[in-house]
Amino acid sequence: MFNLKALQKNKTVRYGVPMLLLVVGGSFGLREFAQIRYDAQKLRRKLDPSLEAKVRPVTLEQEYEKMIINVDEWKNVRGPRPWEDSRQYQEQMRRKET
């Protein structure tokens, strides 16, 4: 049989086993606390049935139709650099357009 004092002096038993229990036990505990958080978020996301009836689904195609612009007449205009005077640069760009 092992001597109890020999086990108490062993560094693996003294430091390794509690550390291993802390890491493994902590991961299980963390999982449980995280699950509580995600369950609470699911409950908050649920809409009231009367409000849900008012909300209409929006598709990507509908939003794209709203954003269509005339690409042929579009012009890329850069903004002023930090060392340039923005008012002076805007006036200069307006003169070039006309």
Please tell me the total count of domains within the chain. 1
AA letter at 49: P
Q: Taking a C-beta distance cutoff of 8 angstroms, is the pair 50, 56 a contact?
A: no
Which tens digits make up the pLDDT trace of 10-30?
888 889 999 999 999 999 999
Which tens digits make up the pLDDT trace of 58-84?
888 888 887 777 767 777 777 778 888
- What is the pTM assigned to this prediction? 0.37
Residue 48 to residues 25, 37, 52, Cα–Cα distance (Å): 39, 21, 6
Count the helices and strands in the chain (H runs, E runs).
Answer: 6, 0
Determine which helix (DSSP H) or strand (DSSP E) holds 97, and give its type and residue range.
helix 86-97
Query: What is the extent of the structural domain holding 84?
Result: 4-97
* The dihedral formed by the CA atoms of 17, 21, 23 and 27, expressed in degrees to the nearest 10: 160
